[in-house]
């Protein structure tokens, strides 16, 4: 069961003026970056890292995207190719949830990352 949380506006008596900023990006370029990042992580030794952590696979801290799918690979539930595809898929779903959550926050605005690099 997934617990749902609601964003609460800060108390009006704080004396602070809050500005909520998020980075926005179109889905396709974001998904391409996710694919490239997962590939780079795999090439940089993610599988070997997860192999070292295998004895601790039941730890809550290791029930995250990337570790979970590779533990399934090490447990012979998936091929390495399937595990990498699942990491990409689950990361994209997580990014989509984040974008949806951010859209629900009132009085906020987003910046495209390319604006920040100028």
Q: For residue 44, give the 3-state DSSP assignment.
A: coil
Asked if residue 21 has pLDDT above 60, the reply is: yes
Longest CA pairwise span in the chain (Å)? 56
Per-residue pLDDT, 115: 53
Tens digit of pLDDT for each residue in 45-58? 999 999 999 999 99
Tens digit of pLDDT for each residue in 64-118? 999 999 999 999 999 999 999 999 999 999 999 988 877 777 555 555 665 555 4
Per-residue pLDDT, 51: 98
What is this structure's pTM? 0.74
Percent of residues in the chain assigned helix, strand, coil, to nearest 5:
60, 5, 35
Asked if residue 2 has pLDDT above 60, the reply is: no
Is 4 exposed, middle or buried (CB count within 10 Å of its CB: 0-12, 13-18, 19+)?
exposed
């Amino acid at each position: 069961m997934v617990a749902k949380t609601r964003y609460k506006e800060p108390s009006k008596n704080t004396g602070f003026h809050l500005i909520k900023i998020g980075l926005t990006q179109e889905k396709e370029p974001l998904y391409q970056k996710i694919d490239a990042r997962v590939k780079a992580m795999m090439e940089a030794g993610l599988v070997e890292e997860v192999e070292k952590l295998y004895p601790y696979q039941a730890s809550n801290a290791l029930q995250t995207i990337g570790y979970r799918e590779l533990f399934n690979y090490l447990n012979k539930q998936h091929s390495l190719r399937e595990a990498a595809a699942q990491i990409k898929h689950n990361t994209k779903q997580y990014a989509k949830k984040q974008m949806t959550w951010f859209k629900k926050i009132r009085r906020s605005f987003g910046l495209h990352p390319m604006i920040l690099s100028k």
